[in-house]
Amino acid sequence: MYELVRSLYPICRSITGEGVRQTLAQLRELIPLEVHQVPSGTAVFDWTVPREWNIRDAWVKNAAGERVIDFQRHTLHVVSYSVPVRARMTLTQLRPHLHTLPDQPELIPYRTSYYQEDWGLCLPHRQLEQLPEGEYEVCIDSTLQDGHLNWGECLLPGELEDEVLLSCHVCHPSLCDDNLSGIAVATFLARELAAAPRRYSYRFLFVPGTIGSIAWLHRNQARTHRIRHGLVLTCLGDSAGFTYKRSRRGEAEIDRALEHVLAHCGAPSELVDFSPYGYDERQYNSPGFDLPVGCLMRSQHGCFPEYHTSADDLDFVRPESLAQSLALLRSVVRVLEDNRCYRSLNPFCEPQLGRRGLYAGLGGTQIRTLQMAMLWVMNQSDGTHSLLDIAQRAGLPFDTVAEAARLLVRGELITATAPPA
């Protein structure tokens, strides 16, 4: 996963253009990804797909012809969606188009101008303070013209048409945690699920932020009723604990699954309520759709100093954090896949487990925990309580409760009913 982040890091992505297509092309080498496109000018609900933006180079030269700001050194040096510019101007004329972070004077900020034609360049505030007065030559070698909005989609059919939606954004340039970590973890989770038996169908979306999810929802409005659970994945490579932002519903099965898994994962975690600000979960949770989609991250967007700056680089993300994030999502998938309701086949008093080989007189803590899980499952298997309900009430890890259910099915003491509503 870290090598994928490293490979994608130099690409200048935006909400449209070759950077997105190059990124999706790399992902297609790893997973069965279908690339979709929508023409510029297409109406998607209250929005319009913008013109396509591409950039070849951008720089500012001083009087000696030296590049004092150079897009080739870092993609954040240009404001995304800057219109073409070729001009000479004084530093006083240039200053309104230069963006810095006075409170973080060594860092380059990330700035965009998607829906308003403008141009700008970004640089460390310390460097701006050192620029002498005089004439400068400015070049932004970009194009803004009719083209397409692209996104990638990987559908892994399961036994059911009901879907689990996993979405991440592919519109940021060289930002590792806020962009590439979500892409990498989603890609490798898709690889694993593609090789495993699946009850649910899994749909992975690699979309430009906001406009991409809106365009996808517009095109797929008739099939969104199949989405039973969903997650937006972002900021999964830094060293902070996990943060889960609940869906608009607040008590959807995906919300309860994340709450349970985080409580038992052994890592620090925080649960936050839904708000209509953040990533694409706000589109999936809009009232017309009201899809059960939460957002899983480590550091929260806008709440860490590296956010949307050049400090969100290859040193900020950690391979072990990516691995832990993937492991957590595996646990979430197991909950969704195995969460069923069961009905007892022996509901009158507690059945005798010993003669069925399900009760050990001696054993370690793990065995006793499994036996306690069997008692809970038998007691609660009235066709209305799911395994997640039981795990939460018993305070036991879901995997232990699921294993207990498998043993009880094998012992012909319970039988599965319909999936939980």
pLDDT in tens, 78-91: 999 999 999 999 99
pTM: 0.95
pLDDT recorded at residue 419: 57
Binding-site residues from annotation for Zn(2+): 172, 178, 308
Residue 154: strand pairing partners:
204
| Residue ranges per structural domain of the chain | 2-50+148-338, 53-145, 341-416
Q: In sequence order, what are the residues at sequence separation of 6 or more whose Cβ sits closer than 8 angstroms to the Cβ of residue 145?
A: 40, 51, 52
Q: What is the mean pLDDT of residues 321-347?
A: 96
Q: Is the Cβ–Cβ distance between 318 and 238 less than 8 Å?
A: yes
pLDDT recorded at residue 358: 80
Q: What is the mean pLDDT of residues 257-274?
A: 97
Domains 2-50+148-338 and 341-416 share a fold: no
- Check residues 354 and 405 and name the one with the higher pLDDT: 405
pLDDT recorded at residue 362: 43
pLDDT recorded at residue 194: 97
* Assigned token pair, 375: 């008692």
Q: Is the Cβ–Cβ distance between 280 and 234 less than 8 Å?
A: no
Binding-site residues from annotation: 172, 178, 308
Instruction: Inform me whether the pLDDT recorded for 371 exceeds 50.
Output: yes
Percent of the chain scoring above 70 in pLDDT: 97
Considering only CA atoms, which of 243, 260, 213 is closest in space to residue 390? 260
* Domain 2-50+148-338, architecture per CATH: 3-Layer(aba) Sandwich (3.40)
Per-position DSSP letters for 103-134, written without gaps between them = TSTTSPBP-B-TTS----EE--HHHHHHPPSS
pLDDT recorded at residue 50: 97
Residue 229: strand pairing partners:
164
* Assigned token pair, 367: 């065995």
The DSSP H or E segment spanning 61 is: strand 52-61
Instruction: Inform me whether the pLDDT recorded for 409 exceeds 60.
Output: yes
CA distance 74 to 257: 40
Q: Cβ of 355: how many Cβ atoms within 10 Å?
A: 9
Hey, which bits of 246-364 come out as E strands?
269-272, 293-297, 341-344
pLDDT recorded at residue 350: 83
Q: What is the mean pLDDT of residues 344-357?
A: 84
Q: What is the mean pLDDT of residues 376-387?
A: 95
**103-107, 329-333, 361-365: which has the minimum mean pLDDT?**
361-365
pLDDT recorded at residue 356: 81
pLDDT recorded at residue 418: 67
Considering only CA atoms, which of 31, 34, 32, 38 is closest in space to residue 16? 38
pLDDT recorded at residue 366: 63
**CATH for the stretch 53-145:** 3.50.30.90
Q: How confident is the model at residue 325 (pLDDT cuts 50, 70, 90)?
A: very high
Beta strands at 293-297 and 227-233: parallel, antiparallel or unpaired: parallel
Instruction: Inform me whether the pLDDT recorded for 420 exceeds 70.
Output: no
CA distance 20 to 14: 7
Q: Which residue has 């510029």 as its token pair? A: 40
pLDDT recorded at residue 351: 84
Instruction: Inform me whether the pLDDT recorded for 326 exceeds 90.
Output: yes
Which amino acid is residue 325, in one-letter code? S
Q: What is the mean pLDDT of residues 10-29?
A: 98
Q: Is the Cβ–Cβ distance between 136 and 179 less than 8 Å?
A: no
Hey, which bits of 106-221 come out as E strands?
121-122, 135-145, 148-156, 163-169, 201-207
Task: List pLDDT tens digits, range 132-191.
Answer: 999 999 999 999 999 999 999 999 999 999 999 999 999 999 999 999 999 999 999 999
The CATH number corresponding to 341-416 among 3.10.180.10, 1.10.10.10, 3.90.105.10, 3.60.15.10 equals: 1.10.10.10
Instruction: Inform me whether the pLDDT recorded for 361 exceeds 60.
Output: no
Percent of the chain scoring above 90 in pLDDT: 93
CA distance 195 to 190: 9
Q: What is the mean pLDDT of residues 374-394?
A: 95
Per-position DSSP letters for 361-391, written without gaps between them = SS--HHHHHHHHHHHHHHHHTEEEEEHHHHH
- Rounded (5°) CA angle 229-312-123: 135
Task: List pLDDT tens digits, range 199-227.
Answer: 999 999 999 999 999 999 999 999 999 99
pLDDT recorded at residue 257: 98
Arithmetic mean of pLDDT over the chain: 95
Task: List pLDDT tens digits, range 26-57.
Answer: 999 999 999 999 999 999 999 999 999 999 99
Beta strands at 293-297 and 269-272: parallel, antiparallel or unpaired: unpaired
